[in-house]
Amino acid sequence: MTRLATLQERIDGPLLITNLINIRYLTGFEASNAALLVAPGETPKLYTDFRYIEVARATLGVEVVLSKRSLLSELAATLKGTLGFEAAALPYAQYEVLGSGGLALKPTKGIVEGLRAIKDESEIAAIRHTAIAAERAFEALTADTFVGASEKEVAWRLHQLLHAHGADNPAFESIIAGGTNGSKPHATPSDDIIPARTLVTVDWGAVIGGYFSDCTRTLATGDLSDELRRIYDVCLEAQVAACAGIRPGMTGVEADQIARAVIEEAGYGEHFGHGLGHGVGLEIHEAPRLSPESTDTLEVGHVVTIEPGIYLPGVGGVRIEDLAVVRADGLELLTSFPKELVTVS
């Protein structure tokens, strides 16, 4: 069954899709201006303007409609009755435009995202391919000099290596956080020089063919203080426990608690202030969430990060992250770079 057919089975009336990533997922069509109208029992209609019409006409399974640049105003003038829309994707100003012709607008949440969360084997293969390329870039980075280089210099070198190993783009601005900057979970690479005898957190990923990867490793730049070594060992124990213990059917809260319990027992609970992980696919953050606030339940085919961290202000921090797919018997890791502490010069 195609993705469009699956969606048609899950809706009870017309649904207008304006999230461009959701349109790509459902049809394979990419553009900066498009809308997709899906209704039960009808051929889906793909609306786009002149700039993309030739590409759109090669899209299978849809009726292509040439529209004005202002798609929503044209749809408002031509569509009648009740229309579902993606509440998370449609800004209020565009909502007003869409409703200006008298349509009864019905908000929906997470319908296509729920489909996207369950990856098929072709998607898992694409994410695995992306993760491998990103890891090869990181492995090459660990042969470079860290001590005495600035965080920005290391980040730029990683950017170059990602492209050299086949990435279309980095998945996000890589995090390079050395020394005390490691206590900031989303530190921005700075001009600070990376010192010896500390920890350096590297959070990076790639995009290939639209699919993302995400991984974090924390490296040592020499012998560590007892405190830094301890937080690394505790974080690793928590991460390994979560990778071994997560199963389909668990809630995101239960999965998070596996790692959190280890960190709390070691006395660092207040220093692990974010969730254990998130889904990855056509976006770097998507469903499901693994956190104390999650409302999700893990299912076979979810691709998620497992990334506990410990962050000590004024001292440093550590995060260890793998990317994994949920299988019937547990997690299959898609990242393989060693998690035992690696020392770089």
Digit-coded pLDDT (tens) for 328-337: 999 999 999 9
Average confidence (pLDDT) over 20-37: 98
Average confidence (pLDDT) over 307-324: 98
Non-local CB neighbours of 88 within 8 Å, separated by 6+ positions? 19, 109, 110
pLDDT of residue 122: 97
Q: Looking at this protein, which amino acid is placed at residue 164?
A: A
139/183 Cα distance (integer angstroms): 24
pLDDT of residue 232: 98
Average confidence (pLDDT) over 75-97: 97
Q: At residue 1, does pLDDT exceed 90?
A: no
pLDDT of residue 52: 98
DSSP bridge partners of 186: none
Strands 277-279 and 199-204: unpaired
Q: Both tokens of residue 306? A: 């497992």
Average confidence (pLDDT) over 127-148: 98
Q: At residue 269, does pLDDT exceed 90?
A: yes
Do the beta carbons of residue 114 and residue 91 sit within 8 Å? no
Average confidence (pLDDT) over 206-212: 98
Residue 288: is the preceding peptide bond cis (ω within 30°)? yes
Q: At residue 345, does pLDDT exceed 90?
A: yes
Domains of the chain: 3-116 (3.40.350.10), 121-333 (3.90.230.10)
pLDDT of residue 339: 96
Q: At residue 216, does pLDDT exceed 90?
A: yes
Q: Where are the beta strands (DSSP E) in the chain?
A: 15-17, 34-38, 45-48, 63-66, 82-86, 104-108, 169-170, 175-178, 199-204, 206-208, 211-212, 215-220, 277-279, 286-290, 303-306, 309-312, 316-319, 322-327, 330-333
Q: At residue 312, does pLDDT exceed 90?
A: yes
pLDDT of residue 335: 98
SS3 category, 251: strand
pTM above 0.75? yes
Provide, rounded to the nearest whole percent, the portion of the chain with pLDDT above 70: 100
pLDDT of residue 32: 97
Average confidence (pLDDT) over 56-81: 96
List C-alpha distances in Å: 287 to 51, 67, 99. Answer: 32, 32, 29
At 155-203, the pLDDT tens digits run: 999 999 999 999 999 999 999 999 999 999 999 999 999 999 999 999 9
Non-local CB neighbours of 91 within 8 Å, separated by 6+ positions? none
